[in-house]
Amino acid sequence: MALTGRKPKPQGQAVNRVKPVHDWVEVENVPYMSAPKLPTKRANGHGWLAATKRWWSAISTMPHCVLWQDSDWEFAFETAEIRAEFDEGDKRLGTELRNREKKLGLTWDSRRDMRIRYVDAVAVGEEPGEVVRLDDYRNL
């Protein structure tokens, strides 16, 4: 999911003046409601902790989940297992969890690095703004 190259610089500070190789991926800012459910039991046979269920509920409804494929969901399930171990007290997994969450784009900063941006959804039937005719302003 991650793109290669530098992070994009603010407008006007770009060193390279050519068009970037990777454009921004714009995703409508609406919750994703088609996420798969967590399995009833974890891989070790135990149930899920409440904290892990809240975490899954938060990440599985993020708008950019619409871009995920089956392999991305499997990666998210594996990350949920690591999150469950972390929630049970194995704090050694914190670095691995943080790295995986970054790859999934769970923070604003990681989405910026992957050039994913949320845009407001356009209401159905909403009319675009009035277009100004340039001929009216020529030869003033």
- Map out the domains of the chain as residue ranges: 48-120
Its pTM stands at 0.71
What pLDDT is stored for residue 73 in this prediction? 94
In terms of pLDDT, which residue wins out, 140 or 25?
25
Identify the CA nearest to 30 among candidates 62, 67, 58: 62
What pLDDT is stored for residue 133 in this prediction? 76
Alpha helix segments (H runs only) across 6-134: 50-59, 70-87, 94-104, 108-113
Q: At residue 21, does pLDDT exceed 90? A: no
